[in-house]
């Protein structure tokens, strides 16, 4: 099974990026720290193969810090000499550490400004990072993927011009697990994959990897197991008032509640994949 979600403007963005990359000094590739491999667009490997690039694991405050450390080590191992950093895009000090790291390999000159491009898939926090660096709102942000439609350039301190670009997903998402992770994070429109399926995928993962967080948040018993996803989702819906007329649990509302609370970090620091998961899934391709 494959998932297709490739709005028309994203095709235009791919062509735009190919031209724009040649005019910048460095690319900051923004990844979701909760799913760094699934949120890494393979198109950027092709588009940015001749320009300095660093990986920025954004939303690290929502991710499992132990797993994030494993990802940093992993990226440093497979891409020797490349830089990688985990940040929270709303934190000014964090974000400037990433910008300073991006500038480490750039030859600076007083005769011109330094040009940084911020790139990545939808809803990884590119515009938030740009706003934080600028110290004011210069780019639209939101929880809807692909909110940035055109390139935005902003002059910031230290003689830097930073370019925000529309988020692009690749045309076909062949890895179903990766597609579900993207949907759970909000990178894919909620209309592209059934909300209930996404919730059950996320719930099964939480039962396996983060059962204590699940029990604590929803006051579940100690008897949960990975085959009880639908029943647990129904229990969550009943306890949170996701009910239809007659007291029947509204599974759609329960699914939306679970995903919404995962995205906002109310379940704690959760990572949806580890380097080990990524490598094992890669072997199955």
Q: Token match 């942000």: residue?
A: 141
| Averaged pLDDT, 38-51 | 82
pLDDT of residue 141: 52
Domain count of the fold of the chain: 2
Cα angle for residues 245, 247, 251 (degrees, 5° grid): 85
Q: Token match 């995928």: residue?
A: 201
Give per-residue pLDDT as tens, 86-129: 999 999 999 999 999 998 878 777 778 899 999 888 889 998 99
Q: Is residue 10 part of a domain?
A: yes
Percentage with pLDDT > 70 across the chain: 84
Whether residue 153 is predicted with pLDDT greater than 90 in this model: the reply is: no
Domain of 273, CATH number, reads 1.10.1580.10
Q: Please indicate, yes or no, whether residues 15 and 141 belong to a single structural domain of this protein.
A: yes
Q: Please indicate, yes or no, whether residues 157 and 207 belong to a single structural domain of this protein.
A: no
Q: Is residue 184 part of a domain?
A: no
What's the mean pLDDT when you consider all of the chain?
84
Higher-pLDDT residue of 222 and 208 is 208
Task: Of 19, 41, 18, 20, give the one whose Cα is nearest residue 29.
Answer: 41
Q: Is residue 189 part of a domain?
A: no
pLDDT of residue 23: 84
d(CA 27, CA 46): 13
Domain of 82, CATH number, reads 3.40.50.300
Domain that holds residue 233: 194-283
Q: Please indicate, yes or no, whether residues 128 and 13 belong to a single structural domain of this protein.
A: yes
Q: Please indicate, yes or no, whether residues 153 and 201 belong to a single structural domain of this protein.
A: no
Q: Is residue 61 part of a domain?
A: yes
Give per-residue pLDDT as tens, 260-277: 999 999 999 999 999 999
pLDDT of residue 145: 41
pLDDT of residue 149: 43
Q: Please indicate, yes or no, whether residues 22 and 129 belong to a single structural domain of this protein.
A: yes
According to DSSP, the β-strands at 52-58 and 114-119 are unpaired
- Which DSSP letter does residue 168 get? -
Q: Please indicate, yes or no, whether residues 206 and 259 belong to a single structural domain of this protein.
A: yes
Q: Please indicate, yes or no, whether residues 145 and 11 belong to a single structural domain of this protein.
A: yes
Q: Is residue 211 part of a domain?
A: yes
Contact 36, 79 (CB under 8 A): no
CA distances from 199 to 53, 55, 255 (A): 34, 28, 5
Q: Is residue 105 part of a domain?
A: yes
Residue 30 tokens, joined: 């923004």
Q: Please indicate, yes or no, whether residues 142 and 17 belong to a single structural domain of this protein.
A: yes
When mean pLDDT is compared over 4-13, 35-44, 180-189, 253-262, the highest value belongs to 253-262
Backbone Cα Rg of the chain? 20
From 149, 164, 179, the end of a domain falls on 164
Q: Residues with Cβ < 8 Å from 110, sequence gap 6 or more?
A: 159
From 146, 164, 182, the end of a domain falls on 164
Q: Please indicate, yes or no, whether residues 160 and 202 belong to a single structural domain of this protein.
A: no
Burial of 173 by CB count in 10 Å (0-12 exposed, 13-18 middle, 19+ buried)?
buried
Q: Please indicate, yes or no, whether residues 155 and 199 belong to a single structural domain of this protein.
A: no
Report pTM. 0.88
pLDDT of residue 112: 84
Q: Is residue 258 part of a domain?
A: yes
From 164, 185, 206, the end of a domain falls on 164
Model confidence band, residue 51 (pLDDT cutoffs 50, 70, 90): confident
Q: How far apart are the first and last CA of the chain?
A: 13
Model confidence band, residue 147 (pLDDT cutoffs 50, 70, 90): very low
CA distances from 180 to 99, 187, 198, 277 (A): 31, 10, 6, 14
Q: Is residue 180 part of a domain?
A: no
Residue 189 tokens, joined: 């429109």
pLDDT of residue 61: 97
Task: Of 237, 17, 41, give the one whose Cα is nearest residue 121.
Answer: 41
Q: Please indicate, yes or no, whether residues 200 and 114 belong to a single structural domain of this protein.
A: no
Contact 131, 139 (CB under 8 A): yes
Q: Please indicate, yes or no, whether residues 128 and 60 belong to a single structural domain of this protein.
A: yes
């Amino acid at each position: 099974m494959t998932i297709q979600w490739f709005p028309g403007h994203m095709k235009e963005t791919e062509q735009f990026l190919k031209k724009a990359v040649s005019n910048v000094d460095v690319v900051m590739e923004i990844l979701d720290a909760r799913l760094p491999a699934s949120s890494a667009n393979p198109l950027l490997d092709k588009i940015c193969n001749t320009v300095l690039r660093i990986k920025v694991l954004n939303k690290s405050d929502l991710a499992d810090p132990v797993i994030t450390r494993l990802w940093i080590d992993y990226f440093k191992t497979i891409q020797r000499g490349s830089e990688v950093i985990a940040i929270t895009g709303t934190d000014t000090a964090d974000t400037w550490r990433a910008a300073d790291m991006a500038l480490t390999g750039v030859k600076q000159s007083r005769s011109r400004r330094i040009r940084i491009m911020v790139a990545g898939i939808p809803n990884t926090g590119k515009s938030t990072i740009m706003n934080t660096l600028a110290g004011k709102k210069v780019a639209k942000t939101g929880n809807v993927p692909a909110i940035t439609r055109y390139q935005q350039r902003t002059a910031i301190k230290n003689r830097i011009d930073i370019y925000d670009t529309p988020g692009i997903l690749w045309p076909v998402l062949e890895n179903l697990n990766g597609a579900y992770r993207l949907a759970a994070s909000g990178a894919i429109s909620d209309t592209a994959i059934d909300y209930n399926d996404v919730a059950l995928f996320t719930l099964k993962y939480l039962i396996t990897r983060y059962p204590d967080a699940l029990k604590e948040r929803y006051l579940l018993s100690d008897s949960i197991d990975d085959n009880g996803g639908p029943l647990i989702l129904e229990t969550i819906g009943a306890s949170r008032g996701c009910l239809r007329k007659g007291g029947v649990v509204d599974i759609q509302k329960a699914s939306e509640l679970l995903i919404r609370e995962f995205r906002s970090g109310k379940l704690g620091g959760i990572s949806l994949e580890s380097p080990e998961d990524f490598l094992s899934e890669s072997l199955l391709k």
